[in-house]
């Protein structure tokens, strides 16, 4: 792999985050096959990307919203994705904050181990870089949740990321493994579950559904096996609305619903 040139400012930021951010214990690495894989994790707001950048192997690259890597695109994306569900009277503050964080965002996401993800014609570059990285022996980290609840642990997964396995198989003849990961900041733990391997004999739509269904359930099962804790959800909702990992303690409205 080509050695990356990393900004000195980013090195300082990364060091500070490692010092300040609670140390995460990684469990279940024995479940990861000795080959390039795709780690699929709950987002847990900013906690997922931070934990994976700091504690997964250096050969991993994380899918990152491409807008967070472009100075002009950061403010609109950051406000919509991070803060749009905050009370309306606070929106002026968060709109201002979205401009303030833009330069820092560009430094962080262009120097971290990231692959920019887009939802327009630029998506071709996302797949191209991902396939190149896998072929070189690296692994990829993806946070596929989007704004519709699956249950009280995870939000529904956008299924398009599974197509990486189809493309990889066509190029290499190798069937990728997708590895479920659950991150819980409250227990300072990242737990890795048993993988699911891509099946090239299945139709694309069927395979997307099969892989995503397995991964969402696997992440849910990991969370529910853990000691009681508060789940940090995908959406940046008020802390008082964070659910418990114990299903019996969660109301029906918290379990499901967009």
pTM: 0.91
Cα 159–chain centre separation:
13
Report, as an integer, the average pLDDT of 225-238: 92
pLDDT tens track for 67-105? 999 999 999 988 888 888 788 899 999 999 999 999 999
Contact between 112 and 60 under an 8 Å Cβ cutoff? The reply is no
Alpha carbons 210 and 140: distance in angstroms, whole number:
20
Q: Supply 255's token pair.
A: 């379990």
Examine the pLDDT at 4 and tell me if it is beyond 70: no
Give backbone dihedrals phi and psi of 150, rounded to 5 degrees, phi first. -95, -50
Confidence at residue 47, expressed as pLDDT on a 0 to 100 scale: 94
Indicate the angle between helix axes 8-20 and 47-55, nearest 10 degrees: 100
Q: Does the pLDDT value for residue 255 go beyond 60? A: no
- Helices in the chain by DSSP H: which ranges? 8-20, 47-55, 74-78, 91-100, 102-111, 123-135, 163-172, 204-225, 252-255
Tell me the β-bridge partners of 192.
Answer: 181
Model confidence at 209, pLDDT cuts 50, 70, 90, reads very high
User: Is 90 exceeded by the pLDDT of residue 193?
Assistant: yes
Do residues 244 and 230 lie in contact, with contact meaning Cβ atoms separated by under 8 Å? yes
Buried b / exposed e across 3-15, counting CB within 10 Å, b at 16+?
Answer: eeeeeeebeebbe
Q: Which residues contact 216 (CB under 8 A, 6 or more apart)?
A: 150, 151, 154, 156, 157
149: enclosing H helix or E strand: strand 145-149
Q: How far is the C-alpha of 42 from the C-alpha of 180, rounded, in Å?
A: 9
Least confident of 52-56, 185-189, 219-223, 251-255: 251-255
Whether 191 and 28 have beta carbons less than 8 Å apart is answered as yes
Rounded to whole angstroms, the Cα distance separating 52 from 159 reads 21
Looking up tokens 């327009």 gives 120
Candidates 77, 175, 173, 178; CA nearest to 120 is 77
C-alpha 200/C-alpha 165 separation (Å) is 9
Beta carbons of 101 and 78 less than 8 angstroms apart: yes
On average, the pLDDT of the chain sits at: 92
Distance CA 107, CA 110 (A): 6
């Amino acid at each position: 792999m080509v050695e990356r040139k990393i900004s000195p400012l980013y090195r300082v930021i990364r060091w500070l985050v490692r010092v300040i951010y609670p140390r995460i214990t990684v469990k279940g690495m024995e479940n990861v096959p000795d080959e390039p894989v795709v780690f699929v994790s709950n987002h847990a707001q900013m906690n997922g990307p931070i934990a994976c950048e700091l504690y997964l192997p250096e050969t991993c690259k994380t899918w990152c919203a491409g807008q967070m890597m472009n100075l002009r695109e950061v403010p609109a994306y950051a406000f919509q994705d991070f803060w749009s569900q905050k009370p309306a009277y606070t929106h002026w503050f968060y709109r201002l904050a979205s401009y303030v964080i833009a330069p820092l965002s560009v430094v962080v996401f262009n120097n971290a181990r990231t692959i920019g993800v887009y939802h327009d014609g630029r998506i071709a570059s996302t797949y191209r870089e991902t396939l190149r990285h896998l072929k070189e022996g690296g692994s990829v980290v993806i946070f596929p949740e989007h704004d519709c609840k699956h249950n009280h642990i995870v939000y529904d997964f956008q299924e398009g990321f599974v197509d990486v396995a189809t493309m990889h198989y066509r190029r290499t003849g190798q069937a990728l493994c997708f590895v479920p990961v659950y991150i819980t900041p409250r227990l300072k733990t990242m737990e890795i579950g048993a993988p699911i391997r891509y099946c090239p004999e299945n139709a694309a739509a069927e395979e997307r559904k099969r892989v995503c269904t397995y991964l969402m359930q696997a992440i849910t099962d990991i969370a529910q096996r853990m000691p009681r804790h508060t789940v940090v959800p995908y959406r940046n909702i008020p802390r008082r609305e964070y659910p418990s990992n114990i299903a019996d303690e969660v109301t029906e409205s918290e379990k499901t619903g967009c």
